[in-house]
């Protein structure tokens, strides 16, 4: 009886230990899910069906994409250009995907009224004009810095091709700094209206541009840090010494004041 009792006790103890181990193992099993990032979904650029651009000497794909308000990746895909995005003078680039085509104008034949009746055309209702609303800012995922000291003399206006950024007044030779970490993808004077221009790529979706410089201090392909001086302020392509600063998301200009810190 004693042997049977001890044997039963050992079996019961072993069973309880086994159940405890199984319970602990079940509790330690977790499912790890990667966070869903909104930045991984990129909206395509606004195509311009039928529009093309002829590459000029000194042009870069980034410069052409910037000038036409499209994302460089879309422009490259529409024209079958692989990295490092080499283009040639005289080359024709489409500003629309292969499936796009030039819009076809359609004509309609007006319906004549029945004989003996007189009809007067009804004037169309006056269009309702509303000011263009500034869309809610997308999250860039990093902090921006002011690219120069000075007071604001020009603001962003949504939909106005002449006001796609902000203008910061300053003095000749004043430091112009990178607004965030990135890589210089354009450094030149080939974009009309911008003077000596620098474009910095911060990631696959975000660019910043610095125009009207007196002197550019960085070259294409060079990595820069936030706050690093990249140019000297000037008046190239402008009527006075100032910095024209733009932020672009997927090739589209956005209001820099929605991203720069208050001051």
Please check whether residue 223 is in contact with residue 183, taking contact to mean a CB–CB distance below 8 angstroms: yes
pLDDT band for position 103 (cuts 50, 70, 90): very low
- The two three-digit tokens of residue 55, written as one number: 């590459």
- The two three-digit tokens of residue 223, written as one number: 């990595």
Please check whether residue 45 is in contact with residue 251, taking contact to mean a CB–CB distance below 8 angstroms: yes
pLDDT value for 137: 80
pLDDT of 21 strictly over 50: no
pLDDT value for 125: 61
pLDDT value for 107: 45
pLDDT band for position 116 (cuts 50, 70, 90): low
pLDDT band for position 35 (cuts 50, 70, 90): very low
Region 63-91 average pLDDT: 93
DSSP 234: B
Q: What is the pLDDT of residues 195-253, one digit of tens each?
A: 999 999 999 999 999 999 999 999 999 999 999 999 999 999 999 999 999 999 999 99
pLDDT value for 45: 82
pLDDT of 104 strictly over 50: no
Share of the chain above pLDDT 90, in %: 62
The sign one gets for the Cα dihedral 187, 190, 193, 196 is positive
Q: Hey, what domains does the chain have and what are their CATH numbers?
A: 47-94 (3.10.350.10), 152-258 (2.70.70.10)
pLDDT value for 135: 57
Average pLDDT over all residues of the chain:
81
pLDDT value for 127: 59
For residue 40, the SS3 value is: helix
pLDDT value for 223: 98
* Range among 23-27, 188-192, 243-247 rated most confident: 243-247
Q: Please report, to the nearest 10 degrees, the dihedral formed by the alpha carbons of residues 140, 242, 160, 190 taken in order.
A: -90
pLDDT value for 207: 97
Q: What is the pLDDT of residues 162-183, one digit of tens each?
A: 899 999 999 999 999 999 999 9
Do strands 152-154 and 92-94 pair parallel, antiparallel, or not at all (unpaired)?
Answer: unpaired
pLDDT of 144 strictly over 60: yes
Do strands 229-233 and 196-201 pair parallel, antiparallel, or not at all (unpaired)?
Answer: unpaired
- The two three-digit tokens of residue 245, written as one number: 């600063």
Burial class (CB in 10 A: 0-12, 13-18, 19+), 130: exposed
Region 47-76 average pLDDT: 92
Share of the chain above pLDDT 70, in %: 70
């Amino acid at each position: 009886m004693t042997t049977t009792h001890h044997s039963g006790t050992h079996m019961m103890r072993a069973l309880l230990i086994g159940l405890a181990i199984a319970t602990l193992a079940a509790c330690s099993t977790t499912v790890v899910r990667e966070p869903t990032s909104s930045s991984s979904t990129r909206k395509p650029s606004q195509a311009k069906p039928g529009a093309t651009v002829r590459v000029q000497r000194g042009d870069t794909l980034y410069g052409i994409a910037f000038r036409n308000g499209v994302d460089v990746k879309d422009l490259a895909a529409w024209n079958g250009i692989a990295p490092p995005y080499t283009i040639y003078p005289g080359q024709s680039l489409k500003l629309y995907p292969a499936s796009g085509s030039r819009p076809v104008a359609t004509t309609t034949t007006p319906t004549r009224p029945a004989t003996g009746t007189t009809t007067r055309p009804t004037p169309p209702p006056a269009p309702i004009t509303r000011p263009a609303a500034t869309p809610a800012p997308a999250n860039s995922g990093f902090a921006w810095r002011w690219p120069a000291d000075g007071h604001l003399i020009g603001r962003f206006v949504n939909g106005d091709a002449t006001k796609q950024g902000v203008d910061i007044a300053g003095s000749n030779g004043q430091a112009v700094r990178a607004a965030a970490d990135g890589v210089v993808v354009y450094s030149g004077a080939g974009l009309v209206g911008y003077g000596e221009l620098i474009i910095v790529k911060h990631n696959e979706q975000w660019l910043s541009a610095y125009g009207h410089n007196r002197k550019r201090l960085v070259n294409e392909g060079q990595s820069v840090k936030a706050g690093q001086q990249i140019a000297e302020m000037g008046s190239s392509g402008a009527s006075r010494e100032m910095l024209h600063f733009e932020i672009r998301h997927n090739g589209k200009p956005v209001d820099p004041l929605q991203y720069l810190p208050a001051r």
